[in-house]
């Protein structure tokens, strides 16, 4: 099994960090754009798409800053993370997505995130 690489995507967003964080960290918010169904119990999130389920452990979070998940089927040390930053120059909010993929799959995975984030931006009126 080849080792996956960490990659980072950045998206400027016209939204306050507090509102954006709700969409990234709560089952109701994630269900708006990331998965068809999202439940959380004791730090384990269950994401559902078209009848299939994937579980992710909540590893770490800081309100209005970032949230990091680990897919239960993934290798130790792999995660996906949503973080929120502010541009010092433009004062614009920036959504940063970090994820792991095999080198040959990074382009496809990036396009999938692009699609998901577009849906998020549509939901928040961006």
- Give residue 87's pLDDT: 87
CA dist., res. 19 & res. 30, Å (int): 12
Give how many domains the chain has, as a whole number: 1
Q: Residue 14 in 3-state DSSP?
A: coil
- Give residue 125's pLDDT: 87
- Give residue 45's pLDDT: 98
Token pair recorded at residue 94: 């920036």
In angstroms, the first-to-last Cα distance of the chain is 40
Beta bridge partners of 3: none
What domain range is 72 assigned to?
5-123
DSSP for 102-121, please give it.
-GGGHHHHHHHHHHHHHHHH
- H-state helical runs in 14-105: 17-25, 27-33
> pLDDT per position in the chain (126 positions), as tens?
568 999 999 999 999 999 999 999 999 999 999 999 999 999 999 999 999 999 999 999 999 999 999 999 999 999 999 999 998 888 899 999 999 999 999 999 999 999 999 999 999 988
- Give residue 126's pLDDT: 80
CA dist., res. 110 & res. 99, Å (int): 9
CA dist., res. 68 & res. 59, Å (int): 5
Distance of CA 18 to the CA centre of its chain: 15
CATH number of domain containing 74: 3.30.530.20
- Give residue 2's pLDDT: 63
CA dist., res. 93 & res. 17, Å (int): 7
């Amino acid at each position: 099994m080849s080792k996956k690489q960490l990659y980072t995507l950045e998206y400027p967003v016209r939204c306050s960090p507090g509102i954006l964080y709700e969409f990234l960290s709560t089952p109701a918010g994630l269900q708006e754009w990331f998965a068809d169904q999202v439940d959380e119990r004791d730090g384990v999130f269950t994401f559902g798409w078209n009848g299939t389920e994937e579980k992710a452990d909540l590893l770490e979070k800081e309100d209005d800053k970032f949230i990091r998940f680990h897919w239960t089927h993934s290798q130790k040390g792999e995660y996906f993370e949503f973080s929120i930053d502010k541009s010092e120059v433009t004062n614009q909010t920036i959504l940063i997505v970090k994820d792991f993929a095999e080198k040959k799959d990074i382009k496809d995975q990036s396009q999938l995130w692009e699609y998901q984030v577009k849906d998020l931006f549509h939901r928040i009126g961006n």
